Amino acid sequence: MKFKFSIAVFLVGFLITLLGAWLKITHMSVGPLTGNVSLTIGTIIQIVGVILLISQIVISKKS
């Protein structure tokens, strides 16, 4: 995997989190997607992106 992939995963999570914040502020929902659900999904995706990035940094330091 490349660094670009993990950064892209993080940015997708960031955008989903922004959508969740907007939904929460406006008290709207898009079908089953509410602000709380969107914030949770976005945060989990961001955590996965950070873990991927850290693992790639550790692996590249070893070689």
Total-model pTM: 0.88
Give the integer Cα–Cα distance in Å for 57 and 46: 17
Is the pLDDT assigned to residue 63 strictly greater than 90? no
Give the integer Cα–Cα distance in Å for 2 and 20: 28
Is the pLDDT assigned to residue 54 strictly greater than 70? yes
Distances in whole angstroms, Cα of residue 55 to Cα of each of 14, 40, 42, 47, 59: 19, 23, 20, 12, 6
45: confidence class by pLDDT, cuts 50, 70, 90:
very high
User: Which helix or strand (DSSP H or E) is residue 61 part of?
Assistant: helix 35-62
Over the chain, what is the mean pLDDT?
93
